[in-house]
Structure 1
Amino acid sequence: MDQPADDRAVSPSRTSRLFLMALALAAGLVAVDQLTKWWAVGLAGRAPINVIGELVRFRLTYNPGAAFSIGTEYTWVLTLFAAAAVGTITYVARRVTSRAWAVGFGLMLGGAATHLLDRLFREPGFARGHVVDFIDYGPFVGNVADIALVVGVAVMFVLNLRNIPVSGPAAKASPDRSDDAA
């Protein structure tokens, strides 16, 4: 007996392909982020480089804390949070049934993984490493991973507003529905 087209849309093989897509996006993001940080470390001791006037500049900083340098004295705790985030995102991303959710999870996973790598392997030491930030835009200084995390959260926020589930029966909706999974 043939399966309806809607059932094939959420088949285990489709879910596996979407998970692999999220992993590939995350791996690509880690590579790009780490390469740009390698380049940025070369800016040490240099004056900021204006990209768009003083609105966007390249300026090397090392952040021992979380966003906005919160918790600078608890770098090892942030390392544990980053490891938990990578594990949780990977676990949940295995269930995605939508390309849009796969993209959101891929961006989040890549951003969290590259921050975890910084925490584990950068100075001043294992699990106490500082994140390399170099994109200075006004009151904030960040990196490629930070941008990916913000975009990933925005994608997930929009998907939630549109009531598109991560997985499950609603993803089987007919193609003409306006809230169909992307």
Structure 2
Amino acid sequence: MKTKPAAFAAAAAVLVLDQLTKLAMRHILLDGVPRDILGSVVRVTLRYNTGAAFSLGWGGPVILSVFTVLASVFLVRYMLKIEGRKKVLWLGVVLGGAVGNLTDRLIMGKVTDFIDIGSTGWRWPTFNVADIAICIGGIAVFFLFKGSKRLEVPTKENQT
């Protein structure tokens, strides 16, 4: 499979998985009522988020939607220009997550979150499959680019 189509397939897979899990949780769960999966450590709790990832409250749906559209356009353009199968595939994963949350914002004006992790007295902000894709994809991209050799700028010393 060629790298660029595979990256867009990865983005589509993340988008579909994200939207299907959100749809299922909206039909199964009551808003704000947790259901334990692994005791109280891992549970599903339906929440709606008008802020940024992990229910961070800055911005509104319009600002975040515009930012996400711009970031998605940048990702697509960058994916088409760069080389490196792993880099392009992981950027596709990030793109799928971004478009997943954007889809919620455009359709509902808010993002559906449902993965709820924590313990007594402390809980991580509720999140979703798109958030996981953005975070894991972003970390993978960081390490892949960090490990890349940088282009050496020609100087008088290294031109001989």
Whether 1:133 and 2:118 are equivalent positions in the alignment is no
Partner of 2:132: 147
Return the offset for 1:137.
Answer: 1.2
* Aligned residue among 88, 97, 100 for 1:114: 100
Give 1:94-105 correspondences, 5 Å limit: 94-105=80-91
> Structure 1: where are the runs of 5+ without partners?
1-13, 123-128, 169-182
Report the aligned-residue RMSD. 1.9
Q: Is the 8 A contact 2:31 2:45 kept in 1?
A: no
Amino acid at match of 2:116: D
Partner of 1:10: none
**Which whole-Å deviations, capped at 9, do the CAs of 1:66-116 have from their partners, x for residues lacking one?**
1232225x2210010111111110110012321211221111100111111
* Aligned residue among 91, 94, 98 for 2:77: 91
Q: Is the 8 A contact 1:19 1:96 kept in 2?
A: no
Partner of 2:14: 29
Partner Cα separation in structure 1 for residue 49 and residue 138 of structure 2:
21
Partner of 1:62: 48
Q: Is the 8 A contact 2:31 2:47 kept in 1?
A: no
Q: Is the 8 A contact 1:64 1:131 kept in 2?
A: yes
Return the offset for 1:45.
Answer: 4.6
Q: Is the 8 A contact 1:108 1:149 kept in 2?
A: yes
> Structure 2: where are the runs of 5+ without partners?
119-123, 152-160
Partner Cα separation in structure 2 for residue 130 and residue 70 of structure 1:
12
Partner Cα separation in structure 1 for residue 3 and residue 61 of structure 2:
33
Secondary structure of the residue that 2:148 maps to in structure 1? Answer: coil
Partner Cα separation in structure 1 for residue 14 and residue 149 of structure 2:
25
Q: Is the 8 A contact 2:51 2:61 kept in 1?
A: yes
Secondary structure of the residue that 2:115 maps to in structure 1? Answer: strand
Amino acid at match of 1:55: V
Partner Cα separation in structure 2 for residue 45 and residue 92 of structure 1:
38
4+ aligned runs moved over 3 Å, structure 1 = none
